[in-house]
Structures are given as structure tokens and as C-alpha cells.
């Protein structure tokens, strides 16, 4: 990982609200992402974790401007990505690997055409031979054979389809990739192969990842730092090992306590923190700290004020009014 002063990607106070029709000509804002900020250095992997519905996929899509942000700024190499021209230029350097390899590939297109589509869009070849050579090189990089080029997506296994999706994402020669739960739809035996491939590609091509997942073991393996989201808010951000060895936010503590441990003795000694109650709906988010309805440490201030996302230690950010008290 290179240590440039300027991060590759910087996100400041991003918000993504969706207007939901409540009937009788009334709408209400669903706050899928509500004021999150972070940066990613060149060559780094930032893991983004949280329960289903916490807004992590929406955050990834908003950063790539697949959704127009309701508020906030996105910077790429220090320059704000705002105008249509900025977005078009940004998308030459930033791509996405989608969660479901079954639905993200066009069933009517051959593998060669799926991988070649970004090359067509950005006019990245001067002859049919160059296009074919680029496609075959991409296929080789992700572990597919050249004879697969003329086949269709339905002829492949889940793991192979995801490799096709990764090759498509690599076609433009990106610097930044949003990986949206790229292994969650795959068998466990295949997951490790695909994760190792992400590691190898990062090393070979100096890629920078935002790696979105709910499986904390997968995220720990691939990430340099981990950000934890809850109900549209970011609640903790720290180095991957720091998050695992010493979580500070009550929600992160609960998530880590639920991670399976292979050693039976350690597993018995670990006390799982069970959160009471259901996750509130983002349509009817609680006042104050979004986690206070399920937090065992909540006090009156937690119900009244949204905690700031502050740096409590060097490189470690937490949004909790009582972070010092509960970790002393």
C-alpha cells in the first residue's frame, strides 16, 4: 500500500435519501445513507460491514454515482466528482463487482461480449483483433480459459460467473473497485478462491477496494481497515486487527462476539452479546443515536443527541457518547 498524503477516494458527509410514497400524495424520506465520511488510500482495502439493510450497498453505489447523492461530496484524487463530465471520467477509473453473478450478467450475451462491453463503451481498442486480445487477457487474469469466450452465462457455475463479472469490472483498467458482497452468493469452498484472486489482482494491478460484506471473517482476511455501518450511519472505523481485537462501539462489540471461532475452548470462553429488539426501519429511524433502542449502555443523552463521528485514538473513529466509559 502506498502512503500518499492525498487519498485516492474521499467521501464527505454523503447522504442518500429515497422518497417513499405513503399514499394520499404524501412522501417520506427513507434515509438509506445518512451523513457518512471516510477516505481510502491508494492500494488499500476498506471493508464495509453491517447487518442487511444498514445502507452499505447504497453507500457503494452512491460513491460510484449510480445513485445521485442527496447530499455530500465525493473526491477522486483530490478532485470533486460532480458534473456529468467528471462522472464519465471517474467511471473510467472506478468500477463495481455486483453481489449476484446470476442476475448481473446479460443471459443473451456471450462471455466475450459481456467482458468487452466496457471496452466498447469507452472506445478502448482500435481493431477487432485488439479487442479480442484484451478480452482473452482479462479472462486469463481471472482464471478463465479462452474456449469459454463463446459461451453464455447460464453455462457456468456461480464461481465462474463471478469471475466473468470481475473480468468485466477490470476491462477499463480501473484504479478503484467497489466489491458489493462479491462472494456471498457462492459456495464456501469457492469463496476462498475468489477472495485470494482479489488479493492477487490488487497486488498485480495496484487496485484500491471498497469491499462490502456482512461476513466478518471474509472482511478481516482482505481488509486493511474496517468501517462498521448501522442504520445508514457509520459507527466505527479502524484498522482490521483493532476492530477484531478491541472493538469500541457497542454495536461492533456485538458483531464481533457473533463471529464463529474454530477453537471449541475459545468459543466456549467467548460470551456472545445478544442484541435485543429488531433493527428500526430507516423510514422511522429513532431520534438521537440510531443504535440506542438496542444498546445495553444507552442513557438519556443517547436518545436525544446524535453522537459525532470522532477520532478517539490515532486513526480510529467512533460515534458513541459513552465510548470512554464503556471501554475503561
Pairing of strands 9-23, 26-40: antiparallel
185 and 99 in contact (C-beta within 8 Å)? yes
- The pLDDT tens digits of the residues spanning 253-300 come to 999 988 777 666 665 666 778 788 778 888 888 999 999 999 999 999
Residues 54 and 185 reside in one and the same domain: yes
Residues 168 and 305 reside in one and the same domain: no
Instruction: Output the CA angle 216-239-209, nearest 5 degrees.
Output: 70
| 5 has a pLDDT exceeding 60 | yes
Residue 1 lies in a domain: no
Residue 101 lies in a domain: no
| 185 has a pLDDT exceeding 90 | no
Residue 291 lies in a domain: yes
Among the candidates 173, 203, 226, a domain finishes at: 173
Query: CA 221 to CA 213: how far, in whole Å?
Result: 12
Residues 152 and 195 reside in one and the same domain: no
Residues 42 and 153 reside in one and the same domain: no
- The pLDDT tens digits of the residues spanning 103-155 come to 888 889 999 999 999 999 888 889 999 999 999 999 999 999 999 999 998 89
Residue 4 lies in a domain: no
Residue 185 lies in a domain: yes
Question: What's the pLDDT at 317?
Answer: 96
Question: What's the pLDDT at 186?
Answer: 85
Range of the domain at 166: 107-173
Over range 89-109, report the average pLDDT: 88
- The residue ranking higher by pLDDT, 22 or 5, is 22
Residues 189 and 306 reside in one and the same domain: yes
In this structure, what C-alpha cell is assigned to residue 17?
Answer: 435519501
Which burial class, exposed, middle or buried, applies to 108 when counting CB atoms under 10 A from its CB (0-12, 13-18, 19+)? exposed
Residues 197 and 289 reside in one and the same domain: yes
Residues 148 and 286 reside in one and the same domain: no
Residues 75 and 142 reside in one and the same domain: no
Among the candidates 155, 173, 191, a domain finishes at: 173
Residue 2 lies in a domain: no
Over range 166-193, report the average pLDDT: 91
User: Which of the 8 DSSP states describes residue 26?
Assistant: E
Question: What's the pLDDT at 231?
Answer: 94
Residues 116 and 254 reside in one and the same domain: no
Across 72-76, 87-91, 252-256, 268-272, the highest mean pLDDT is recorded for 72-76
Residue 204 lies in a domain: yes
What is the rounded average pLDDT for all residues in the chain? Answer: 90
Residue 102 lies in a domain: no
Rounded percentage of the chain residues whose pLDDT exceeds 70: 95
- Classify the phi-psi angles of 158: left when phi > 0, otherwise alpha if psi is within -120 to 50, otherwise beta: alpha
Residues 133 and 212 reside in one and the same domain: no
| 308 has a pLDDT exceeding 90 | yes
| 197 has a pLDDT exceeding 90 | yes
Among the candidates 142, 173, 204, a domain finishes at: 173
Which residue matches cell numbers 430507516? 282
Instruction: Output the CA angle 42-131-118, nearest 5 degrees.
Output: 50
Query: What's the CATH number where 242 sits?
Result: 3.40.50.300
Query: CA 8 to CA 174: how far, in whole Å?
Result: 12
- The residue ranking higher by pLDDT, 52 or 5, is 52
Domain tally, the chain: 2
Query: CA 239 to CA 97: how far, in whole Å?
Result: 24
Lowest-confidence region among 37-41, 175-179, 217-221: 217-221
| 3 has a pLDDT exceeding 60 | no
Predicted structure pTM score:
0.91
- The residue ranking higher by pLDDT, 290 or 2, is 290
Which burial class, exposed, middle or buried, applies to 135 when counting CB atoms under 10 A from its CB (0-12, 13-18, 19+)? buried
| 4 has a pLDDT exceeding 60 | no
**Full DSSP string of 264-321:** HHHHHHSPP-PPPSPPPPGGGPPSSSTTTTT-TT--HHHHHSPPP-EEEETTEEE--T
Question: What's the pLDDT at 1?
Answer: 44
Residues 19 and 51 reside in one and the same domain: yes
Residues 89 and 183 reside in one and the same domain: yes
Among candidates 133, 134, 188, 144, which has minimal Cα distance to 166? 144
Q: How many beta carbons lie within 10 A of that of residue 85, not counting itself?
A: 9
Amino acid at each position: 500500500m502506498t502512503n500518499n498524503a492525498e487519498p485516492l477516494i474521499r467521501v464527505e458527509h454523503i447522504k442518500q435519501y429515497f422518497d417513499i410514497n405513503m399514499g394520499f400524495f404524501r412522501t417520506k424520506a427513507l434515509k438509506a445513507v445518512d451523513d457518512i465520511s471516510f477516505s481510502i488510500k491508494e492500494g488499500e482495502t476498506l471493508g464495509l460491514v453491517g447487518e442487511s439493510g444498514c445502507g452499505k450497498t447504497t453507500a457503494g453505489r452512491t460513491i460510484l454515482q449510480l445513485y445521485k447523492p442527496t447530499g455530500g461530496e465525493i473526491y477522486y484524487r483530490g478532485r470533486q466528482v460532480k458534473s456529468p463530465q467528471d462522472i464519465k471520467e471517474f467511471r473510467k477509473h472506478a468500477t463495481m463487482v455486483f453481489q449476484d453473478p446470476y442476475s448481473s450478467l446479460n443471459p443473451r450475451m456471450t462471455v466475450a461480449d459481456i467482458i468487452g462491453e466496457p471496452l466498447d463503451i469507452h472506445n478502448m481498442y482500435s481493431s477487432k483483433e485488439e479487442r479480442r486480445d484484451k478480452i482473452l487477457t482479462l479472462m486469463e487474469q481471472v482464471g478463465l480459459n479462452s474456449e469459454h469466450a463463446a459461451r453464455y452465462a447460464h453455462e457456468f457455475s456461480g464461481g465462474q460467473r463471478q469471475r466473468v463479472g470481475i473480468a468485466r469490472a477490470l476491462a477499463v483498467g480501473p484504479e478503484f473497485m467497489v466489491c458489493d458482497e462479491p462472494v456471498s452468493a457462492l459456495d464456501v469452498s469457492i469463496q476462498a478462491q475468489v477472495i485470494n484472486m482479489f488479493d492477487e489482482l490488487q497486488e498485480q494491478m495496484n487496485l484500491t477496494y471498497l469491499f462490502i460484506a456482512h461476513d466478518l471473517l471474509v472482511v478481516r482476511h482482505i481488509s486493511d481497515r474496517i468501517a462498521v455501518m448501522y442504520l445508514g450511519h457509520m459507527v466505527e472505523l479502524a484498522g482490521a486487527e483493532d476492530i477484531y481485537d478491541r472493538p469500541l462501539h457497542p454495536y461492533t462489540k456485538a458483531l464481533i462476539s457473533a463471529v464463529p471461532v474454530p477453537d471449541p475452548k475459545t468459543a466456549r470462553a467467548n460470551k456472545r452479546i445478544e442484541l435485543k429488539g429488531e433493527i428500526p426501519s430507516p423510514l422511522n429511524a429513532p431520534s438521537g443515536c440510531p443504535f440506542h433502542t438496542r444498546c445495553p449502555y444507552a442513557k438519556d443523552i443517547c436518545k436525544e443527541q446524535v453522537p459525532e463521528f470522532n477520532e478517539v485514538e490515532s486513526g480510529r473513529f467512533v460515534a458513541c457518547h459513552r465510548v470512554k466509559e464503556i471501554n475503561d
